[in-house]
Every structure is written in structure tokens, then in C-alpha cells.
């Protein structure tokens, strides 16, 4: 996943990230592939979702559909404004199509996940984010480990594999999910957003003091 990081982050290489984005967008392993990714090398927070949705297929911007609007509301509650949107990527980079049952999008296959895995690894190695938001079960399984949402949402932990980045799991903000219908799960989300708010404030303080990773 990249080398461990110290207290001082190496000089960002924006051109290197631009080249990586170009390679990602030129790839694609499914029919009508249109990889989607967005962000800047200076972003200290990375959002990792499952895959782009049908709206993102048109806008070419991650989290630009209804689920993205809900996610931005969550970020706002944690103190991250619309002008401070973090780096946005996903486990797989192309819209996988609708689920066969018609409710939500199709979950990417293990083969698609494996094919896209090197892209995410390179993004993480280049950005070396301080905070990684894991949005939905697929991202949680990939970077946290397999566990029920009720056991991980509201928690956070440091990842030695990612140089000590703080992992914060979140449920998927899709309207197709019924997980947040339960009051206890809504409180778990609030706990996760409080953790994110504290980490964001600490990160913003480090930026002002010149102590970014």
C-alpha cells in the first residue's frame, strides 16, 4: 500500500497523480467502461466508495448523484464544507450496472474488484491520506475487514498498512439502503460523524501549524 509515513509528508507530486488519473480513465474492464475518480494531491482525506452510479456515468464526477448529495450532507455535519470536498474514489472505477432485482446498483464481482485493486493501491500510496472514509460494506471489507455495519460504524482505528491513516467506516448513503431506518444505527452514524469532526478539526489545526503528513 505504500511506505509508512512520518510526521512530515513528502512534497506532493500533482503531475504524478494526473498521470495516474489518466491511466485509470483509459482503463476499464467492462462494456461501456467509463472510470470515474476525482481529487487533488494535496487532499488529506480520501473517500472510498463501492463504485460510481448511473449519474456519475454522465457527470464524470464521483458522488454526484442522490447518494453523493446525502454524503455531502453528512460531511457538512462533520464540518467539511462543499468547498472542501475530499479526494473521491472507489473500489471499482466504473458503473457496474443496476442490480438484477432492480433495487440499487449491482455489487462489483470479485474479478472486477481484483482488476481495479492496483489503482486504489496506487492512489493510496501517492496521496498517503491522513483520514480514509470507508463508505459502504465493500470499502469496509477491503480496508478494514469483513464485519457487520453495526459493529464498525461509530468506530475508528489507525491502519499500519496505510502509514497510520485513520479509518472511519460509514454506511452507504444510498436511498436503497434500509440500514439507517433503525434508530440505533442512526446513532452509530452520528458517532462516526463525531469522530470524523474531531479528526477533521485536528487535521485542520495541523495544516495551520504547518504539520501536515
Please indicate, yes or no, if residue 165 is contained in any of the structural domains: yes
Q: What is the pLDDT of residue 2?
A: 44
Residue 2 lies in a domain: no
Is the residue at 1 inside a domain? no
**DSSP β-ladder status, 165-170 and 131-135:** parallel
Question: Is residue 59 assigned to a domain?
Answer: yes
**Residue 5: is it exposed, middle or buried by C-beta count within 10 angstroms (0-12/13-18/19+)?**
middle
pTM: 0.84
Is residue 183 domain-resident? Answer: yes
- Establish if 180 belongs to a structural domain: yes
CATH number of domain containing 122? 3.40.470.10
181: containing domain: 14-209
Whether residue 191 lies inside any domain: the answer is yes
Instruction: Give the pLDDT confidence of 149-201 residue by residue, as tens digits.
Output: 999 999 999 999 999 999 999 999 987 778 999 999 999 999 999 999 999 99
pLDDT band, residue 81 (cuts 50/70/90): very high
Q: Is 5 domain-assigned?
A: no
* Structural domains of the chain, count: 1
Amino acid at each position: 500500500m505504500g511506505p509508512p509515513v512520518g510526521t512530515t509528508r513528502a512534497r506532493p507530486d500533482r503531475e504524478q497523480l494526473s498521470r495516474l488519473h489518466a491511466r485509470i480513465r483509459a482503463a476499464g474492464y467492462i462494456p461501456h467502461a467509463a472510470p470515474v475518480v476525482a481529487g487533488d494531491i494535496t487532499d488529506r482525506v480520501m473517500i472510498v466508495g463501492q463504485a460510481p452510479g448511473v449519474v456519475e456515468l454522465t457527470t464524470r464526477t464521483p458522488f454526484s448523484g442522490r447518494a453523493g448529495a446525502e454524503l455531502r450532507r453528512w460531511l457538512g455535519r462533520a464540518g467539511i464544507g462543499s468547498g472542501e470536498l475530499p479526494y473521491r474514489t472507489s473500489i471499482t472505477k466504473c458503473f457496474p450496472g443496476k442490480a438484477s432485482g432492480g433495487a440499487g446498483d449491482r455489487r462489483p464481482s470479485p474479478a472486477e474488484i481484483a482488476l481495479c485493486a492496483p489503482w486504489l493501491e496506487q492512489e493510496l500510496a501517492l496521496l498517503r491520506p491522513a483520514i480514509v472514509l470507508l463508505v459502504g460494506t465493500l470499502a469496509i471489507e477491503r480496508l478494514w475487514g469483513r464485519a457487520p455495519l453495526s459493529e464498525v460504524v461509530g468506530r475508528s482505528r489507525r491502519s499500519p498498512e496505510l502509514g497510520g491513516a485513520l479509518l472511519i467506516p460509514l454506511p452507504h448513503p444510498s436511498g436503497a439502503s434500509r440500514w439507517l431506518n433503525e434508530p440505533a444505527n442512526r446513532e452509530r452514524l452520528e458517532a462516526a460523524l463525531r469522530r470524523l469532526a474531531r479528526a477533521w478539526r485536528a487535521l485542520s489545526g495541523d495544516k495551520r501549524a504547518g504539520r501536515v503528513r
